[in-house]
Amino acid sequence: MDVCRELAQQLGPGRSPGERAIAARTLLSLLEREGDEAVIRPIDVVLADCVPSLLQAAQTPTRSATSLAPDPRVTSAAVIDMADAALLLLGHLCGCGLQTLEAAGWHVDDDGTGRGRPIYVHPASGQSQQTPPDLVAEVFGAELDQKDAWALTLLFELSTITSPYANPLDGSLCWPARIRYHEPETNEFTPTSDSTPLPHKLAMTIVDVAQDDDEEEMDEENDVTPEGGKETRLAFTRHLVLGPWHGIPSFRETEIDLDHPPPGSHLESWYTCAMVCAGFLATRKSGRGKCLIVGLGGGAMASFMGRHWPGINVEAVEIDARVVKVAERWFGVKCEPSLLKPEDGVLGDGADEPQHFKLDDDSRPARVRVTNAESFVTSAMRDPECRYDVILLDVYTRGEFPASLVNETFFERLRGLLKTKENEGWDGALVVNAGVGADRTRVQEIVEKAFPVSKVLLDANASNRMDDDYENAVVLGLLSSSVSTSKSAATESVVNIDFSAKEWKRRAVEVRESWPEAPLPPFELKNAIHGVNNEIMLAWAGNSMLDEEENEDSGEGQGSGPRVKADEVQLLAKDDPAFSMFD
């Protein structure tokens, strides 16, 4: 296994084509040894995270979409040799995976769509499925830990991932998983801006995933659907993965839809929508305020807020400078200061990159600090300028919350960075991506102790509320002030953040009036249901204000009266059962 990890370093895209070709051939020769001479197993190569480096090497040459042959006119001989060596090793791994399946009574069929999508069939039982069977116990017994089961699944999927096909729209070559960038795991120390060392560097992969997007197309003239009812095209999403790449279903830090340009125009997950929604509602009138994001990742939330809410000044803290550079280069995040060098390029710079997905010149940049979250929070406590309307804590990664940050001291210090009515005239809010399962429970307990008021945001469309594996929960820590009621001398807790569809609409109209050139968000809060244990179930819908503007632009809205104003949006009473978020 150690030799695999050493060769995985040599396979990395940072090495020369010659070095990478030698590493691939060395691994292949070790795999081909049999019996007592066997040094490594195919599963060891996958566990060492060699697959993304091999895929990137194989995908580097410009290839014909029909013959798959590399074009020597635009690709050097050294790069072609590297790609050939990588393909030979990938082919060997594919064969080993297919042999393992056949030994267990399974075989792989094509689904007949021409997209290389597999169907796993077990003739003896008549079973067929789209995902690989779980054969870890049958093949390895106790030799392979269950946490490493992903490696066997990826070995089975390689025959699909390594099979490119022609894009049905333009005939260009399409890889099911196109590796844009990969950096192998190392144990080197990486200094951050405050000299705090990172003792461990995770592997990092940027991958563009192709998938079918079935859209029902209408014949506008005849108001009928074309034959077949649907037109199938390819949609591409870009993933940021930290740690070993587990294949297309890897846990991803960030995901963006490349069919939704420019960067920041959309959010691709329920929890990021919930976090920015809470952040938006926690800021002042017209969406003015100051937001701190702890854990930049691919920068989806920073880009979204910078594009749609110009009145919010976004700052971010990220422990890994590599993540900041990737967010800038591959996800189009505007960072201040920029860590990119001229040789790094910019979004859409490469000839084979999607040319429609480029930077948005109008989006506001985020001020980014590369430092440890604990160190930043400790130093920020002494700086009166570091006070925020809202803090978005998004450090849940690889399916777990960092153990060093799950403590009352850290959360109490975060609370100390929030603006208060006593000092700033406004109470701030903490918004936390709490993950699932035990992590969510622990984060919720700490927030309840650190804040006077706490709420838990959940996906209203989750299919099974008792299952901890649904979408990440978002936990809120809210400051409150005590005010006298007119009915009695007793005090009640008044929260400065109201989750309701009406309030979302009113605030959106305010922003529109103050920032008429800012694009409207593509979604709006559809429903908010107050459940037990301070839970709020949220659901999203397309932004109705976008439809209204389209109708106005097309003339369909003429005669319908002036556009609604913020003070004309009627708020529901706090005791309204449909939208009230108050106990």
Contact 161, 55 (CB under 8 A): yes
pLDDT in the model for residue 190: 52
- Lowest mean per-residue pLDDT among 164-178, 243-257, 412-426, 567-581: 567-581
DSSP 152-212: HHHHHHHHHHT--EE-TTT--EE-SEEEEEEE--B---EE-TTS-EES-B--EEEEEEEEE
Q: What are phi and psi of 575, to 5 degrees?
A: -95, 10
Rounded CA-CA distance 315/293 in Å is: 6
Q: At what angle do helices 149-161 and 51-59 cross, to 10 degrees?
A: 10
Q: In what order do the strands lie in the sheet with 254-257?
A: 177-183, 204-215, 231-242, 254-257
In sequence order, what are the residues at sequence separation of 6 or more whose Cβ sits closer than 8 angstroms to the Cβ of residue 171? 65
User: pLDDT tens digit string along 231-240?
Assistant: 556 788 999 9
Q: How far is CA 419 from CA 151, 388, 410, in A?
A: 47, 5, 17
Greater pLDDT, 64 or 292: 292
Q: What percent of the chain has pLDDT over 70?
A: 80
pLDDT in the model for residue 239: 95
Question: What 3-state class would DSSP assign to 524?
Answer: strand
pLDDT in the model for residue 562: 40
Which pair of structure tokens corresponds to residue 567?
């003070």
Confidence of residue 354 (pLDDT cuts 50, 70, 90): confident
What are the extents of the domains in the chain? 1-173, 269-481+497-516+527-537
pLDDT in the model for residue 221: 40
Work out the number of other CB atoms within 10 angstroms of the CB of residue 240: 24
Instruction: Give the mean pLDDT of 188-197.
Output: 50
Contact 22, 11 (CB under 8 A): no
Closest C-alpha among 459, 463, 443 to residue 451: 443
Confidence of residue 198 (pLDDT cuts 50, 70, 90): low
Rounded CA-CA distance 45/149 in Å is: 14
Rounded CA-CA distance 455/444 in Å is: 9
Closest C-alpha among 22, 20, 26, 28 to residue 55: 20
User: pLDDT tens digit string along 147-173?
Assistant: 899 999 999 999 989 988 887 777 788
Q: Which of 80-84, 460-464, 499-503, 528-532 has the highest mean pLDDT?
A: 80-84
Instruction: Give the mean pLDDT of 483-499.
Output: 44
- Lowest mean per-residue pLDDT among 77-91, 215-229, 271-285, 374-388: 215-229
Residue 519 has pLDDT above 80, yes or no: yes
Helix residue ranges per DSSP H, 435-481: 437-450
Instruction: Give the mean pLDDT of 485-493.
Output: 35
Q: What percent of the chain has pLDDT over 90?
A: 44
Helix residue ranges per DSSP H, 354-400: 373-380
Residue 489 has pLDDT above 80, yes or no: no
Residue 214 has pLDDT above 80, yes or no: no
The DSSP secondary-structure symbol of 472 reads: P
Helix residue ranges per DSSP H, 184-299: 270-282
Rounded CA-CA distance 553/537 in Å is: 35
Give me the torsion for CA of 200, 433, 460, 531, rounded to 10°.
Answer: 140
Which pair of structure tokens corresponds to residue 315?
């700052």
pLDDT in the model for residue 547: 66
pLDDT in the model for residue 200: 52
Triad 474, 295, 518: Cα angle to 5°: 80
CATH superfamily of 269-481+497-516+527-537: Vaccinia Virus protein VP39 (3.40.50.150)
Contact 61, 125 (CB under 8 A): no
Greater pLDDT, 472 or 17: 17
Rounded CA-CA distance 503/487 in Å is: 26
Closest C-alpha among 451, 572, 479, 473 to residue 531: 473
Residue with tokens 């060098």: 341
The H or E element containing residue 479 is none
Rounded CA-CA distance 489/483 in Å is: 9
User: pLDDT tens digit string along 407-455?
Assistant: 999 999 999 999 887 666 668 899 999 988 889 899 999 999 999 989 9
* Cis amide prior to 184 (ω within 30 degrees): no
Which pair of structure tokens corresponds to residue 199?
């003792």
In sequence order, what are the residues at sequence separation of 6 or more whose Cβ sits closer than 8 angstroms to the Cβ of residue 476? 278, 429, 430, 431, 432, 447, 454, 455, 456, 457, 497
Contact 197, 189 (CB under 8 A): yes
The H or E element containing residue 412 is helix 408-416
Residue 75 has pLDDT above 50, yes or no: yes
Residue 203 has pLDDT above 80, yes or no: yes
Q: What are phi and psi of 242, to 5 degrees?
A: -105, 135
pLDDT in the model for residue 205: 95
In sequence order, what are the residues at sequence separation of 6 or more whose Cβ sits closer than 8 angstroms to the Cβ of residue 455? 475, 476, 478, 499, 534, 535, 536, 581
Closest C-alpha among 198, 379, 380 to residue 292: 380
* Mean pLDDT, the chain, integer: 82
Triad 109, 114, 120: Cα angle to 5°: 20
* Cis amide prior to 262 (ω within 30 degrees): yes
Contact 348, 357 (CB under 8 A): yes
User: pLDDT tens digit string along 83-132?
Assistant: 999 999 999 999 999 999 999 999 998 776 666 678 999 999 999 998 89
User: pLDDT tens digit string along 355-372?
Assistant: 778 887 778 899 999 999
Work out the number of other CB atoms within 10 angstroms of the CB of residue 160: 19
Contact 470, 459 (CB under 8 A): yes
pLDDT in the model for residue 553: 56
Q: Would you give the distance in Å from CA 496 to the centre of its chain?
A: 29
Confidence of residue 470 (pLDDT cuts 50, 70, 90): low
Length of the chain in terms of residues written: 583
Which pair of structure tokens corresponds to residue 116?
């290389």
Contact 246, 182 (CB under 8 A): no
Which pair of structure tokens corresponds to residue 403?
């153990």
Instruction: Return contacts of 575-583, CB within 8 angstroms, 24+ apart.
Output: 577/530, 578/527, 578/529, 579/499, 579/500, 579/501, 579/502, 579/503, 579/527, 579/528, 580/500, 580/530, 581/455, 581/495, 581/498, 581/499, 581/500, 581/528, 581/530, 581/536, 582/495, 582/530, 583/534
Confidence of residue 552 (pLDDT cuts 50, 70, 90): low
The DSSP secondary-structure symbol of 562 reads: S
pLDDT in the model for residue 55: 97
At residue 111, what is the residue type?
D
Strand partners, 390: 291, 429
Contact 537, 528 (CB under 8 A): yes
pLDDT in the model for residue 496: 52
This prediction has a pTM of 0.85
